[in-house]
Chains A and B, each alone.
Chain A
Amino acid sequence: MQRRPQRALAATAAALTAATLSACASERDSGGGEGGEAQSGGTLVFGAAGDPAMFDPAFASDGETFRIARQIHEGLLGNELGGTEPVPELAEDWEVSEDGLEYTFSLQEGVQFHDGTDFNAEAVCFNFDRWYNFEGLAQSPSASYYYQAVFGGFASTPDVPSIYESCEATDENTAVVRLTQVTSKFPAALALPAFSIQSPTALQEYDADNLSGSEDALSYSEYALNHPTGTGPFRFESWDRGNGEVTIVRNEDYWGEAALLDEIIFRTIPDGNTRRQELQAGSIDGYDFVSPADYQTLEDDGFQVLVRDPFNILYLGFNGGNVPGTQANPALQDPRVRQAIAHAIDRETIVNSLLPEGAETATQFLPPTVDGWAEDVTTYEYDPERARQLLQEAGAEGTTLRFYYPTDVSRPYLPDPAAMFQVINQNLTDAGFTTEPVALPWNPDYLNAVQAGQADIHLLGWTGDYNDAYNFIGTFFAEAANNQASAEFGAFSAPEIFQALAQADAEPDAEARTELYQEANRLIMDYLPGVPISHSPPALVVAENVQGLEPSPLTAEVFSTVSLAD
């Protein structure tokens, strides 16, 4: 159950602490807004990189599903428009008890789901209980990944404890959620789309929890496929699978400020070049995952390239497991070999030549804007000579490394895996390593193989779910993630790192927590379980007449403020 499937697919949002991110927004970040009154009406066609899995965010963990779910559904908390601050959404306000175990949410009044069902405290508790009582396939990590990441186990899994205790509707508009232990993830995690509040009527009517198929090939319920019902500014209209088109329309009875567009069509165009050409040809109005090579061309053509602030990490992971009896490349257990790899990689050139303007080299597995980033970690400069020397000292010349990289994908932190692979591969060859390249399709092969620890070295990354150090380094290096033979970084045992992370997570005081995370980062960079490479600003692009789209560092754009000028 420790699997972290497709976690890198997730591009989700919510923020624990106020970040300074929005302050350093580059000047390109202007999704219109200047110029006349925003107009209502019209259809926006947005190019998606892949098909959504379905539309029930409780079972989703991929960005394309979330992109659409975010328009249809809302959670108790939401994200500040274009920022990282968690803001009230369906909960007007909330209070935390002294012991940090009881959250009292005061709900918005007069809100209705798309099917006319009233939104109230009972609906909220219905959803919490639904997640907690998932059975069977719904408990598999590929179904309810985010629930498990935040809450742990289920009602029917007593051996895996859950931090959820109960939800009680004390009156029409007050829901009290009780937890079994203090966690720093709460309540910010409730802004994740996975915790959207959905219509109890529709969930029951269309048998939402009825999953079939197998763990890795889930077949979803009628609800998830055809009747997702939330409170959001848009309603689900139709999904034309043959052509990869999802249509959502304005919710006329939206409780807040109604959306400006009549309709949004998300059209799947997997190939990045095709997306660009379709935009240039005018058949779509915008798309995500703009190739860095196209920023300039598109701007010259009059399109708006909306650059998000980097909130991600790309790294070269090692399988350097040191637990006896597990399969790991023995050479990588030698710290000198790991250091040699770090010294071999020319990160400066990578950032300059392959990544968009605004990308930075990474010194640790955490973006500098997140609390807990440490200035004084051990760094490994580009020095092929030193790399050779270390390799020699370790007696590991001629070591063959199985180098895994993904094909057919573009990630926010890794716009062009093929180019990245080739440059790093050449760096390693120059430093005296031998590599055996292995290319696999991103999903599911690559993610499965890499997270099962099959690679010696591999490229992977992570976009933050919320502004919290644990969401990055805890995901990678917490003990739970590494105590098995088939772990991404191999079964490695580094008690001091595990302890530092556990301690930090349980620390209620923000300042003390930050210091503990800094210490953890220092320990990690001394140990060097992989090489952090870069933080890269991903971008979306929209046509000149598209106004009001605020790029979100968490890739959590909301389309209700978007309008089309003439």
Chain B
Amino acid sequence: MLRFVVRRLLQLIPILLGLSVLLFAWLRALPGGPAQAALGERATPEAIARYNELFGLDQPIYVQYLRFLGRAVQLDFGNSTRTGRPVTEEFLERMPGTIELTLFAMVFAIGVGIPLGYLAARRHGSWIDSTSVIGSLLGVAIPVFFLAYLLRLVFAVELGWLPGSGRQEVRIDATRVTNFYVLDGVLTGEWDAAWDAFTHLVLPGIALGTIPLAIIVRITRASVLDVVNEDYVRTANAKGLATQTVRRRHILRNALLPVSTTIGLQTGLLLSGAVLTETVFAFGGVGSAIYDAIFGRDYALLQGFVLLLAIMYVLVNLLVDISYGLLDPRVRVS
């Protein structure tokens, strides 16, 4: 097992290197190059020359790349052109919010998706089944930002049940420890702050979790249907095992294998889905920072955030692969 993990980690290296090349090339390909991107279109030639010298942009391209890589390895992506602060610092400040949101979305998607998918498969052909099939198809087809707007309009504005933007009610003066607001509230015993931060996750979390929910329902249903028809289930039933045991031991466990794959994949994708959701809900996470960076032409931040997000995405997938390996010995062998 250890060898498996180590091998996977080693395989990370070429991917990350490739990513860094891509992002390096991306910044170079921007109209006017990095100096123009940083200094603006009206920068004087002297200013550009100064900047190029300062950042070694007058060096051969491979030297520049090695420098970029050298700094990237130390997680140094330069300073945001909008706030003047280190990109990594901005990222660390905002990532906890996005992680909280993503976790909520996944818990929602899994918590609702697996029971629903299972139920749909058990009652194959019933109205529950057809409703969840149609619903899951709709869930994938609906534009996320539109759903986000609808949710906010209905539950935050019209009904006023839940907060519709931000991470914490501004009038609550909460202590910050980890920047995971819910966790902070729990750690410091500020229960109202924790609860408030939690309620701020609900609407964006549901909006963000809709697509994974739809997919999880579909996959669960399909794989339960598959498994039910497998020989070993029939054998188990024939052996006279209790229905409950058959369901738990044989059906659910085997059916959940492909579901866990999907969950991993979707968790990674949520990180980018957060751009839309966080923007609509003015949620101070990584996604809304990327949106701001696009419109503030904050290329340094954009570059750093995209690379860091891609790393997280790759890491999440790695975790999934490892856990998959734990669940299913066949994968390890291959």
Contacts and interface: CB of A to CB of B under 8 A. Distances in A.
Check A-B contact in the complex, CB < 8 A: yes
Interface of A: 3, 43, 45, 212-220, 241-245, 265, 267, 269-271, 274, 277-278, 280-284, 407-408, 441-445, 448-449, 451-452, 454, 486
Residue from B40, B79, B152, B280 whose CB has the most chain A CB atoms within 10 Å: B40
Contacts of B314: none
A454 B169 CA distance: 44
Nearest to B285: A242
A277 B153 contact: yes
A213 B85 CA distance: 10
A480 to B, nearest CB: 17
A243 B167 contact: yes
Contacts of A218: 84
Nearest to A407: B295
B160 interface: yes
Contacts of A280: 157
A448 B294 CA distance: 16
B166 to A, nearest CB: 7
B40 A216 contact: yes
Given A219-B79, A243-B166, A278-B164, A445 B51 contact: no
Nearest to A269: B282
Contact of A215 (B39, B41, B94, B279): B39
Residue from A441, A444, A452 whose CB has the most chain B CB atoms within 10 Å: A444
Contact of B42 (A219, A220, A452): A452
Contact of B43 (A212, A216, A281): A216
Given A242-B94, A242-B284, A449-B41, A283 B84 contact: no
A212 B78 CA distance: 13
Nearest to A408: B295
Contacts of A444: 40, 296-297
A441 to B, nearest CB: 4
B170 A267 contact: yes
B139 interface: no
Contact of A217 (B42, B84, B153, B179): B84
Given A216-B40, A277-B153, A445 B165 contact: no
B225 to A, nearest CB: 42
A268 to B, nearest CB: 8
21 contacts: A213-B79, A215-B40, A216-B39, A216-B40, A216-B81, A217-B81, A218-B84, A241-B83, A242-B97, A243-B170, A265-B170, A267-B170, A270-B292, A278-B165, A280-B157, A283-B165, A283-B170, A443-B296, A448-B41, A451-B42, A454-B41
B297 A274 contact: no
Contact of B157 (A213, A277, A407, A454): A277
A218 B38 CA distance: 11
Given A215-B47, A277-B152, A270 B282 contact: yes
B163 interface: yes
Interface string B181-206: 00000000000000000000000000
Contacts of B76: none
A445 B166 contact: no
A244 B179 CA distance: 14
Contacts of A3: 42
Which 9 residue pairs across A and B have the least CB separation, nearest first? A219-B84, A217-B81, A216-B40, A441-B295, A243-B284, A277-B157, A242-B93, A448-B41, A265-B170
Residue from B81, B84, B279 whose CB has the most chain A CB atoms within 10 Å: B84
Nearest to B168: A243
B156 interface: yes
B272 to A, nearest CB: 20
A218 B296 CA distance: 14
A217 B82 contact: yes
Contacts of B279: 271
Given A274-B165, A408-B295, A448 B42 contact: yes
Nearest to B80: A217
Residue from B41, B42, B168 whose CB has the most chain A CB atoms within 10 Å: B42
A43 B284 contact: no
Contacts of A267: 166, 170
B47 A441 contact: no
A328 B45 CA distance: 22
A244 B94 CA distance: 12
A277 B148 CA distance: 13
B282 A215 contact: no
B168 A486 contact: no
A445 B299 CA distance: 13
Given A220-B84, A241-B93, A271-B282, A215 B165 contact: no
A245 B165 CA distance: 13
B40 A43 contact: no
A283 B51 contact: no
A123 B163 CA distance: 46
B239 interface: no
Contacts of B281: 274
Nearest to A282: B160
Given A271-B279, A441-B297, 15 more contacts: A45-B170, A214-B38, A217-B79, A219-B79, A241-B85, A242-B93, A242-B284, A243-B170, A270-B292, A274-B282, A278-B164, A283-B163, A283-B164, A441-B296, A448-B42
Contacts of A451: 42
B234 to A, nearest CB: 55
B212 to A, nearest CB: 25
A46 B142 CA distance: 33
A217 B54 CA distance: 15
Nearest to B82: A217
Nearest to A213: B84
Given A282-B160, A444-B297, A452-B41, A214 B51 contact: yes
Contacts of B163: 281, 283
Interface string B29-61: 000000000111111000100010000000000
B3 interface: no
A284 B169 CA distance: 9
B171 interface: yes
Given A45-B171, A277-B156, A441-B296, A486 B165 contact: no
A449 B40 CA distance: 10
Residue from A217, A244, A265 whose CB has the most chain B CB atoms within 10 Å: A217
Contacts of B81: 213, 216-217
B170 A486 contact: no
A486 B79 contact: no
Contact of A281 (B38, B39, B94, B156): B156
A510 B152 CA distance: 55
